[in-house]
Amino acid sequence: MRIVFAGTPDFAVPSLRAAAARGEVIAVYTQPDRPAGRGRGLAASPVKQAAQQLGLPVLQPDTLRTVESRRALRALQPDLMVVVAYGLLLPPKVLEIPTHGCWNVHASLLPRWRGAAPIQRAIEAGDAETGVCLMQMEQGLDTGPVLLSQATPIGEHETGGQLHARLADLGAQVLADGLALLRAGVRPTSQPQPADGATYAHKLEKAEARLDWALPADVLARKVRAFDPWPVAEAELAGERLRIHGAIALPLAHGAAPGRVLFAGKAGIDVACGEGALRIRALQRAGGKVITAADYLNARRDLVAG
């Protein structure tokens, strides 16, 4: 088979390695190098770095909408195009070029959580499970029929970063299974997505990471988990803005105003919420590193005394 792979972030790297395991990837598409770091120098995407390590040719067009870009893809004579978090829209004319069309590895159990941030939204919403789907791409956003899928439970304390890593590996496994079937001449059966149950996972925004103490504690605890490692939950606590890296919800009955510190000790800092309390276990001060709540209290003895 002649496979063209398209992806950009680290989530796509395990799938690239799975697709390239038998020497079938003939080219890798990824987004152009972007400014990164304090020096704002151009940096290659994780997929480009992995492709170069594998000795694969890399293409980085700004768009796939031009006649020239389609001509270049058609010249590769691909049997299949595998797309994993590429970040550029594939026009209908591109989807038609590979013999078997384009497959997409998506980090949710479609039709739930179509869109940009399915991993974080599943945690934020309190979903008990999620998974990955291998989908036949069509013109709509994550609306194509599902070829293969694999579900997995979401851990009680699992963060966005931890689930991201697990689903990246699970996606590579599902892709490998689909490729094995195609090599054997068995095209995976397309299952149209149900009309009901579709939800959209909006892109993460920095502003939504600010915690509102008037919300229930369990809602805030899920936000803390979902937004780790980015954009990281932030909150105002005792006159100081902090980044919250670890917290759990406590079903405490209290009559305190939201945002008031109820308890501060080695176990953490308990903050009154609209319902229950949020126990902060790990946090970060402005310009500092991530520390435990106990270490933070060494510098904030006023909270302990209170």
Phi, psi values for residue 272, rounded to 5°: -65, 135
The token pair that represents 214 in the structure block: 């008037």
Rg of the chain over all Cα atoms, to the nearest angstrom = 23
DSSP reduced 3-state for 49: helix
* Distance, CA of 182 to chain centre: 27
Q: Are 235 and 293 in contact (CB under 8 A)?
A: no
Q: Yes or no: say if 14 and 50 are a contact pair by the CB < 8 Å rule.
A: no
Q: What is the 8-class DSSP label of residue 210?
A: B
Q: Is 110 annotated as a binding residue?
A: yes
Q: Where are the beta strands (DSSP E) in 208-267?
A: 233-237, 240-250, 261-265
Does 111 carry a binding-site annotation?
yes
User: d(Cα 143, Cα 148) in Å, to the nearest integer?
Assistant: 14
Whole-number Å distance between alpha carbons of 118 and 154: 13
Known binding residues are: 108-111
Known binding residues for (6S)-5,6,7,8-tetrahydrofolate are: 108-111
